[in-house]
Amino acid sequence: MKRREFLKVAGVGAASTAIAAPAIAQSMPELKWRMTTSWPKSLDTLFGACLTFAKFVSDATDGKFQVQVFAGGEIVPPLQALDAVQNGTVEMGHSAQYYYIGKDPTWALFCAHPFGMNSRQQNAWYYDGDGQKLIDEFGATFNTKCLLMGNTGTQMGGWFRKEINTVEDLNGLKMRIGGWGGKTLAKLGAVPQQLGGGDIYPALEKGTIDAAEWVGPYDDEKLGFYKIAKFYYYPGWWEGGTTNHLLINLPKWNELPNNYKAIVQAAAGYANVEEQARYDARNPQALKRLVANGVQLRPFSQPIMEACLKATNEVNAEESAKNPNYKKVLASIDTFRNDELLWWQVAEYSYETFMIRNRPKS
């Protein structure tokens, strides 16, 4: 190439670089956001998902987008994460949306509700069904953008000081239970109470509650419930799969450059998978340790399960009759779940029950 032609080409390249650089800079602003959570730092599953998210966002932006994560109570109480995001106290939060049934019970349907979908079915509903569209519409009325960011899988039925053999044993029982499941138990005479994770052990220890549920073996072991209540029931019929959400102040979300939005969505998606994987990997060994420490595993009886399903159907009918949002979202879930259960009956359930029957007894 002749010298003059080379200089001409080089000049064009330099000019394009000079023009492109400011555009790149504008699309990669330096941001420092805060995320409040509903979790204590000791829970490396739930709180850990938030740290995973923050690291992903930072790494993907070469440190230009920093998210500082705070445990429940450091900025606002654990059960006020939505409030803090909604009013702009913080830009982000991480929570279980059934904590906010006092604002609207529809929130529970997006998180976990009695006899709802399991975690894989929930992911399918959000990613390939109407789930994300519906929570976008509903969340906007609370000034909030919500993205999937974790799932516990099917939870345990909780810790009880005494055995629960009949439906009548639930009458008068004071139980810490999160979300909409307490409404079902109340129909059966129980007295539900909603407490943050860090407040459950003291209440159980002092006897102000008779029973408590949190998540499952790995987290429950960390919180020490087995030291007080020895009867550990299953399954957590009120939480067949508990979706945790990343909450983002809607105006702040709308201000983000498109590449940052894509990074946030990718980071939340990764944390969504990782949280479930951690529970699936860690729960089995934790369950073994709990049993070795004298914990008594007990299944809820068939009559109790059936009574709870009947009460749940009554709760759903009552709320749907007066809450159009609840009715709309529940109808979408019911239709989607029925098809999912057909598929699970044919393939997933058949395979897993065969494998369980033939599991080596060791």
* Digit-coded pLDDT (tens) for 262-286: 999 999 999 999 999 999 999 999 9
Query: What is the model's pLDDT at position 106?
Result: 98
For every residue of 143-190, DSSP letters joined together read TEEEEEEEE--SPP-EEESS---SGGGGTT-EEE--TTHHHHHHHTT-
Q: Say what the pLDDT of residue 3 is.
A: 46
Res 326: pLDDT:
98
Q: What pLDDT is recorded for position 195?
A: 86
Q: What is the DSSP letter of 197?
A: H
Which helix H or strand E contains 139, and what residues bound it? helix 131-140
Give pLDDT tens digits for 189-217.
999 998 888 899 999 999 999 999 999 99
Got the DSSP string for 207-276? Answer: TS-SEE--S-HHHHHHHTGGGT--EEEE--TT-SS-EEEEEEEHHHHHHS-HHHHHHHHHHHHHHHHHHH
Render pLDDT for 328-362 as a digit per residue (tens, 0 to 9).
999 999 999 999 999 999 999 999 999 999 999 86
pLDDT-flagged residues of the chain (< 70): 1-26, 362
Extract the tokens encoding 85. Answer: 């995001």
Write down the pLDDT at residue 5: 53
What domains, with CATH codes, occur in the chain? 30-151+241-281 (3.40.190.170)
